[in-house]
Structure 1
Amino acid sequence: MTSRPDAAGAGPSGDAADTGPIPVVRRTGPLPPPPLSVAPGAGPAPDPVRPAVPPTAPVVLPQAPAPATQEIAVPVAAPAGASAASGLDEDGPVGPDGVPDPEPDLVPPTSSRAGRNLVAAIAVGLGLGAVILVSLLVYRPAFLLVVAVAILVGVVELVRALEAGGARAPLVPLLVGTLAMLALAWTRGADGLVAAFLFTVVAVLLWRLADGPEDYLRDATTGVFVALYVPLLAGFCVLLLVPDDGAARVLAFIATVVGNDVGGYTAGVLFGRHPMAPSVSPKKSWEGMGGSIVACVAVATPIVTLALDGPWWGGVLLGVALAVTATVGDLGESLIKRDLGIKDMGTLLPGHGGIMDRLDSLLPSAAVAYLLLSWVAPPA
């Protein structure tokens, strides 16, 4: 005869219930209430560990606690005009129409509010200043060599940057023409500079013919633009160097432009609230422009009056004019870089970018400085 279990978990009829090995249950919460006594034959004994629930009631299993969430702070870009106005950092974190620049918004702790590595920028700036001063004060033709190297590198940087935008300016005639413009400006003056520029333009147009008619107009006009923008304007710096007091003239020009950068940067960081050209350079402010003018006048006036025997108002005029041209040149290159979608023209100078990123303020200012100093303090 087959034995039938009396209840769940019970052995054969008449045998003691077989409950198997006793499980060891570890609990971290309060102990369950003691089991209730059940009359014989009333059904299975309640589980001493789990309280009895009605058969129809749903069993709710304990859920694991949800993982804790952590708030992450997202950096928000500073409002336009709240940092540097000119010089040390010409481009903001957001491009036109809200398109972000390739530069990341997060900057290292050593960076300035303008987004540059301030320590590296100051060190490189002091090094460049030392090279310029030594070459000017010791042997003027050495400064001509410094200018030639800087302009050749600047031409290469600009041509490569424009290639990223699809325009291929002929590099070889531009480099040869650069050397010709600087050399003839030194030996033949303004007439030699203009003649070398015209020959460079013709060489660019003829050189590009070898690549056929496709995109000829775009590439040829780009080459003419590079010749006009970099070596021709740099030739005016050489013209400043030609007279016997040329070292003082170049020093007045460069020191005033440096004053524009430092004054604009300081005033922009401390007081900048109203953006000057938010679609081109969001970090430039009108307050920074005011600081640039004050600093340029403070630098140019004593140099013009003491070193060049010019009138005091000539120094004021030079300071105001160079503050405007340096800022316009800075904005002009910023506009080019935003059009090309790049942050810097190069990476040669830590904390500054490329050579062209330092020449942007100097190039247009050189022509204005030459014309103004030839009037207010003509060479003997």
Structure 2
Amino acid sequence: MPAGGAVPATPGGSGSPGASSDAGTTVAPSGAVPAGAPAGTGAAGGGPADPAPRRSRAGRNLPAALAVGLTLGISCIAVLLFVPKAFIGVVGVAVGIATWEVAKRLREADVLVPRTPLIAGGQAVFWLGWPFGASGVAGAFAATVLICMVWRLFDHGLNTAPRNFLRDTAITVFTLAWIPLLASFAVLLLLEDPAGNLRVLTFMILVVCSDVGGYVAGVLFGRHPMVPSISPKKSWEGFCGSLVFAIIGGLLTVTLLLEANSMIGVVLGVGLVVVATLGDLIESQIKRELGIKDMGTMLPGHGGIMDRLDSMLPSAFVSWLVLSTLL
């Protein structure tokens, strides 16, 4: 999720074939007509060229991205306002799918994470926060780490030594912490009284503000890449746009929804922009190393579920920390 904005892609930019969508390269659409070809000639050399999907300057299929984003946003708001506890189930399903997407991509790259205990244990880490709070999350996390270690040790049988055991188990623990553990803080935030659902809604609105502000400012004004070696399309101008939108959003939501000191909204807005941007950069680097564009294909215009959660996950933890401490 481009929380830090985008700079226009330039031909011949950095990145490898199949790299993430942040690679900064310009790719000709399928059916493009070579220079000097007669007008109306398509790729096959006879018929009209197929219309390419409408894409924004940041590389998205904009109509699809907007439709999916609005649908998800309205659905989450409705669930949080009318059936708050059902939101735990919605996020639990998203966490399971995201963990499966990442495990699948890792195994395609010959990183043999133990997929079954990782996904099942990740659900335990997430769900046990409901009845047992932080202690349930911590206990499930530790138990899942141990189970995954033993599973990977013997997944090729008792007579075969595992290959790349240290690398695979380390990446397994990283994935468990990256997705289910960070997502569990959304549950802890939801269960806080009073108005836990409004606290979750606040942090989600601020992440969207960061995303929209970064996208608009980056596309319109982005000229100075933030971290070109990781995400050449992310700009400092976009980051400033994220800050402006998130601070305004924080002032309004914390004051109107949570009825708290507006300065808490400023702190929360700035904090979420920083971690949302870092979360996006982390996923961009992972996709770059794996040589892929997206973690999945479930959401048109966005990629996979994990491609929508990359900024939300660290933001859930920071929101829980800030709001639990200051409210």
TM range, normalised to the smaller chain?
0.7 to 0.9
* Aligned match of 1:106: 28
Encode CA deviations 1:340-367: one digit per residue, 9 max, x unaligned: 1111000000000000100100111111
Which secondary structure does the structure 2 equivalent of 1:283 belong to?
strand
* Letter paired with 2:180: P
Matched, 1:256 2:206: yes
**TM-score using structure 2 length:** 0.85
d(CA) in 2 for partners of 1:85 and 1:350?
16
d(CA) in 1 for partners of 2:274 and 2:298?
27
Equivalent runs, 1:57-136 vs 2, <5 Å: 86=3, 99-101=16-18, 105-107=27-29, 108=52, 110-136=54-80
d(CA) in 1 for partners of 2:7 and 2:96?
23
**TM-score using structure 1 length:** 0.73
* Letter paired with 1:306: L
* Aligned match of 2:115: 171
d(CA) in 2 for partners of 1:347 and 1:91?
24
* Aligned match of 2:47: none
* Aligned match of 1:158: 102
Instruction: State the 1:256 CA deviation.
Output: 0.3
d(CA) in 2 for partners of 1:313 and 1:231?
30
Distance 1:201 1:285, change over 3 A: same
Which secondary structure does the structure 1 equivalent of 2:85 belong to?
helix
* Aligned match of 2:177: 228
| Structure (1 or 2) with the larger CA radius of gyration | 1
* Letter paired with 1:240: L
d(CA) in 2 for partners of 1:347 and 1:90?
24
Distance 1:92 1:271, change over 3 A: closer
Equivalent runs, 1:11-22 vs 2, <5 Å: none
Which secondary structure does the structure 2 equivalent of 1:213 belong to?
coil
- The answer to whether the Cα contact below 8 Å between 1:93 and 1:105 also exists between their aligned partners in 2 is no
Which secondary structure does the structure 1 equivalent of 2:294 belong to?
coil
Which secondary structure does the structure 1 equivalent of 2:166 belong to?
helix
Q: In structure 2, which of residues 141, 146, 159 is the aligned counterpart of residue 202 of structure 1? A: 146
d(CA) in 2 for partners of 1:93 and 1:343?
17
Which contiguous aligned blocks of 4+ residues in structure 1 show a shift greater than 2 angstroms? 84-104, 106-109
Distance 1:290 1:88, change over 3 A: closer
C-alpha RMSD of the superposition: 2.2
d(CA) in 2 for partners of 1:94 and 1:241?
45
Instruction: State the 1:106 CA deviation.
Output: 2.5
Gapped regions of structure 1 (runs ≥ 5): 1-83
Question: Aligned residues: percent identity?
Answer: 50
Distance 1:171 1:93, change over 3 A: farther
Matched, 1:361 2:283: no
Pick 1 or 2: higher relative contact order, CA cutoff 8 A, min separation 6.
2
Instruction: State the 1:175 CA deviation.
Output: 1.5
* Aligned match of 2:243: 293
Distance 1:257 1:98, change over 3 A: closer
d(CA) in 1 for partners of 2:167 and 2:269?
37
Gapped regions of structure 2 (runs ≥ 5): 30-51
Instruction: State the 1:194 CA deviation.
Output: 1.1
Instruction: State the 1:89 CA deviation.
Output: 7.2
d(CA) in 1 for partners of 2:168 and 2:10?
30
Instruction: State the 1:92 CA deviation.
Output: 6.1
Which secondary structure does the structure 2 equivalent of 1:276 belong to?
strand
* Aligned match of 2:186: 237
Which secondary structure does the structure 2 equivalent of 1:140 belong to?
coil
Encode CA deviations 1:274-302: one digit per residue, 9 max, x unaligned: 00011111111000000000111111112
* Letter paired with 2:323: L
d(CA) in 1 for partners of 2:292 and 2:118?
23
d(CA) in 1 for partners of 2:18 and 2:11?
6
Which secondary structure does the structure 2 equivalent of 1:239 belong to?
helix
Count of matched residue positions in the alignment of Structure 1 and Structure 2: 294
Distance 1:240 1:358, change over 3 A: same
d(CA) in 2 for partners of 1:261 and 1:220?
33
d(CA) in 2 for partners of 1:260 and 1:364?
14
- The answer to whether the Cα contact below 8 Å between 1:96 and 1:279 also exists between their aligned partners in 2 is no
Instruction: State the 1:228 CA deviation.
Output: 0.7
d(CA) in 2 for partners of 1:89 and 1:168?
34
Encode CA deviations 1:78-119: one digit per residue, 9 max, x unaligned: xxxxxx963787996889855354577125351100111000
- Of 152-161 and 162-171, deviating more is 162-171
- The answer to whether the Cα contact below 8 Å between 1:92 and 1:281 also exists between their aligned partners in 2 is no
Distance 1:335 1:183, change over 3 A: same
Encode CA deviations 1:159-193: one digit per residue, 9 max, x unaligned: 11112322111111112112211221111111111
Which secondary structure does the structure 2 equivalent of 1:263 belong to?
helix
* Aligned match of 2:269: 319
- The answer to whether the Cα contact below 8 Å between 1:90 and 1:334 also exists between their aligned partners in 2 is no
* Aligned match of 1:5: none
* Letter paired with 1:86: A
